[in-house]
Amino acid sequence: MIPWLEPEDPFPPVEQAMTDPDGLLAAGGDLSPARLVDAYTRGIFPWFDEGQPILWWSPDPRMVLFPDELHVSRSLARTIRAGRYSLSFDTAFSDVMRACAAPRADQEGTWISDAMVDAYSELARRGLAHSVEAWEDGTLAGGVYGVAIGRVFFGESMFARRRDASKVALAQLVRQLGRWGVGVIDCQVATDHLASLGARQIPRGDFVRLLARGARQPAPEAPWRFDTDLYNGRDDESDASERDGGP
């Protein structure tokens, strides 16, 4: 049996998380800003389907992306350099979340409920959650959103309505975070897509130690804005990726 959290109950230590299913730690509680910030600071995140109680997770190993290990393929580097998509921070946070919640061909339902949208939109209003929007001809073509605690970014979800829009948004987000001194980006659980961009799994204990150090550092200065060369896609880093990256 996993612990049931009443509103004032603390999280159990992450070492008590189950191994099957991997990382399930507790249920219950709420999605208040204080609870969410406490969870992320400890390496815990909520993930549950509509109709379920709130479920809290801390998997082991943990999928992370170090900004200096970002891999951009030649084809993606060309798309970035061509400037097909313009990028923005925090101009359509709720729209990005709702687009991430839209049904996908490979899944039934969504874990991004109205309650989740409301909770994370409140974090965004407090400067603790951020979205990246990729625009084409004034239309939202893709995006990414996540939570920022100190110098750690926790990626939550991404979507694309046009080819490579979410990949461009994520790649340029990672580059910008690297310039700001963000040392690690939490990707939560392993996927082939994230691995193709350079993410890898590390032991949860290592992640928790990185998190403890990074969360104490001051967050990047608000409001978040892209450096000009990253916004328009014409940066030396994408040139290097095309020379050194894969197909």
Q: Name which residue leads in pLDDT, 245 or 175.
A: 175
Identify which has the larger pLDDT, 10 or 111.
10
Give the orientation angle of helix 165-179 with respect to helix 74-82, to 10 degrees: 80
Residue 107 pLDDT exceeds 90: no
Per-residue pLDDT at 245: 44
What would the mean pLDDT of 148-154 be, rounded to a whole number? 97
The reported pLDDT for the residue numbered 198 is 96
- 114-to-50, 98, 100, 119 alpha-carbon distances in Å: 9, 9, 12, 9
Question: What type of residue sits at position 47?
Answer: W
Average pLDDT (121-129) is: 97
Architecture of the domain spanning 63-244: 3-Layer(aba) Sandwich (3.40)
Give the mean pLDDT of the chain.
91
Closest to 50 (Cα-Cα) out of 5, 101, 122, 120: 101
CATH of domain 4-58: 3.30.70.3550
Q: What is the pLDDT, as a whole number, of residue 233?
A: 55
- C-alpha 117/C-alpha 232 separation (Å) is 29
**Where are the domain boundaries for CATH 3.40.630.70 in the chain?**
63-244
What is the arithmetic mean of pLDDT over 146-164? 97
Phi-psi region of 166 (alpha: psi -120 to 50; beta: other; left: phi over 0): alpha
Burial 72-88 (b: 16+ CB within 10 A, else e): bbeebbbbbbeebbbbb
Give yes or no for residue 236 having a pLDDT over 60: no
Q: Residue 240 pLDDT more than 70?
A: no
Rounded average pLDDT over 5-10: 95
In the predicted structure, residue 176 carries a pLDDT above the cut 70: yes
Least confident window among 68-77, 111-120, 226-235? 226-235
**Angle, CA of 179, 231 and 124, to the nearest 5°:** 75
Name the segment(s) of the chain with CATH classification 3.30.70.3550.
Answer: 4-58
Position 197 pLDDT exceeds 90 = yes
Q: What is the mean pLDDT of residues 17-43?
A: 97
pLDDT at 168 over 70: yes
H-assigned helices in the chain? 33-41, 74-82, 93-101, 114-125, 165-179, 192-196, 204-215, 228-231, 236-244
Output the pLDDT for position 243: 36
pLDDT of residue 1: 87
Whole-structure pTM value: 0.91
Give yes or no for residue 33 having a pLDDT over 90.
yes
Task: List, in order, residues 6 or more apart from 117 with CB less than 8 Å away.
Answer: 94, 97, 98, 101
Q: In the chain, what are the helix, strand and coil shares in percent, each to the nearest 5?
A: 35, 25, 40
What is each CA distance from 10 to 7, 38, 53, 229, in whole angstroms? 9, 9, 17, 44
Q: Tell me the C-alpha distance between 121 and 109, whole Å.
A: 21
- Residue 244: pLDDT over 50: no
**Cα–Cα distance list, 36 to 119, 141, 242 (Å):** 9, 28, 39
